[in-house]
Structure 1
Amino acid sequence: MTIRPKISKIEEALQQLGVTPDILSQEERDGLDHDGYVVFTDVLSPVQLEGLREKYEELMAREGMNAGKELHQEHGTRRLSDLVNKGEIFDAIYTHPKVLAAVHHVLQRDFKLSSLNGRDAIPGEGLQALHADWGTREADEQFHVCNSIWLIDEFTTENGATRVVPGTHRLAGSPSDYLDDPAAPHPDEVLIVAPAGSVGVFNSHLWHGGTLNRTTHPRRALHSYYTAREHRQQLEQAEYLRKRTDDRISPAARYLLDV
């Protein structure tokens, strides 16, 4: 029987995955603290992008109406779920050192992957109300969740790019406590407009939402979502873990999945 090395703390996992103390610039740290988000460009190479696009469409065609059912299906979008188990190409997404460094900076404690999904708004759809990925939070309460958006296609002002309202991660309560219509445009909102291959990391207590895709083309993205380790995962990774995934991934990846 093979005895696998075990990791017992997040710092060890991060070190093994290439996270170094200087991997984030001070400007990037300040952006996460003050605005609640940061955008990294040129994270994915053209070869990686092409591979991810091909895999994305392969899974959509294979799963059809069942696509996304493991976690969530949403009107007006195509969704994929449980991507940890659907191809080696996704391993580099949830274990990327710069993204993990940003998540650790936000959460400031041990954490794990909550889910790894795909989402794209079909033409003419995709508008979401401003929301936070957590329930009501007190102003002095620690942060519990952090998300990353991997841009498989370019995000533009017209194709349903995610909008965020900088600084709202520090507010108590939820958007509905402040807004008459969370689906309406917000005067302070900012669109995450960036080229394909970029990654946006945002404190998930930040008000955010998808916008309307006004083009005739898809706007595909992956969402690698993390939670503090004391909370439940959106998708219970231990329940879904497949043997071929378990055989492939590193001890540090297993720690992130909490399996």
Structure 2
Amino acid sequence: MDSGFATIPGPYSRMRFQELVADYDEVMASSPGPDFNEGSTTNRLSGLLNYSSRFDDIFLYSPLLEASARLVGEPFKLSSLLARTLRPGTPAQELHSDLPRELEDALLVGFILMLDSFRRENGATRFVPGSHRWPDVPRDRMTDRRDTWPGEVLANGEAGTLIVFNASIWHGHTANLTTHPRRSVQGYFVRRSAQSGSNFANCLLPSTRNRMSQLARYLLSFRD
């Protein structure tokens, strides 16, 4: 991933993917309590692992783990996993880096599972190849970070495709000009010594914890 990102086939068969999408829609429609957040352009839901075991397939996907191992270069763990729906008619996101310069030692590996096809017109993620190696961030160079950056690339793909990226890369979604939401599941892996975005050991239900494999328990940082 010299460019800082890649798109690969996702972990689901056609039938299981359809089941996953149904789970996603059901969970997002229920909008349960503190796990749900309605932002200015997106609806987000954390705690996905408590709602369906089908979401486990994402963070346990071997090609994703292999890519993360190469990028992190040392033992790592899951930091976060959430549902994210980009609402219709929303503007483009400003180009940004998920990893501020002052946190350079806490490498993040991001991933996005497309539940809908990603296209320019519905909010596909755009990346600036190679920018994960730059010492600055978009606000240092751009007056309007929603502008197109020369050489930026859209991560277009069919539903079920997985994006893997170095979170230092400059990126952001395009405007969703359609009348339909654009759905995805996204998350991050971090070094085991870094602080996680979610404390899975405390927030998962006993039934969720009990179903987890040894590998899953390791990635979720369970102590027992």
- TM-score (norm. length: structure 2): 0.92
Aligned residues: 222
Aligned residue for 1:220? 183
Deviations 1:197-226, CA, capped at 9 Å, x for gaps: 110100001111111111111211100211
Q: Say yes or no: does 1:178 pair with 2:146.
A: no
Deviations 1:73-109, CA, capped at 9 Å, x for gaps: 4212121112122211111111100011111111111
Separation of aligned partners in 2, 1:71 and 1:147: 21
Structure 2: gaps spanning 5 or more residues? none
Separation of aligned partners in 1, 2:102 and 2:165: 16
Distance 1:237 1:215, change over 3 A: same
Kept after mapping to 2: 8 A contact 1:153/1:220: yes
Kept after mapping to 1: 8 A contact 2:106/2:194: no
Task: Return structure 1 stretches of 4+ with deviation > 6 angstroms.
Answer: none
Q: How does 1:82-121 map to 2 (within 5 A)?
A: 82-121=47-86
Shift of 1:142: 5.2
Q: Say yes or no: does 1:237 pair with 2:203.
A: no
Separation of aligned partners in 1, 2:132 and 2:161: 22
Identical pairs, percent: 36
Distance 1:71 1:120, change over 3 A: closer
Shift of 1:189: 1.2
Distance 1:123 1:56, change over 3 A: same
Separation of aligned partners in 1, 2:36 and 2:135: 28
Helix, strand or coil at the partner of 2:145: coil
Amino acid corresponding to residue 85 of structure 1 in structure 2: N
Supply the RMSD in Å over aligned alpha carbons. Answer: 1.8
Q: Which of 6, 10, 13 does residue 45 from structure 1 map onto?
A: 13
Kept after mapping to 2: 8 A contact 1:111/1:226: yes
Q: Which of 205, 218, 224 does residue 168 from structure 2 map onto?
A: 205
Distance 1:215 1:71, change over 3 A: closer
Shift of 1:145: 0.2
Structure 1: gaps spanning 5 or more residues? 1-31
Q: Say yes or no: does 1:148 pair with 2:111.
A: yes
Separation of aligned partners in 2, 1:73 and 1:110: 34
Higher strand proportion, which one? 2
Shift of 1:126: 5.2
Amino acid corresponding to residue 243 of structure 1 in structure 2: P
- TM-score (norm. length: structure 1): 0.81
Kept after mapping to 1: 8 A contact 2:46/2:82: yes
Kept after mapping to 2: 8 A contact 1:143/1:205: no
Helix, strand or coil at the partner of 1:220: strand
Aligned residue for 1:5? none
Helix, strand or coil at the partner of 1:255: helix
Distance 1:73 1:146, change over 3 A: farther
Greater Cα shift, 75-84 or 90-99: 75-84
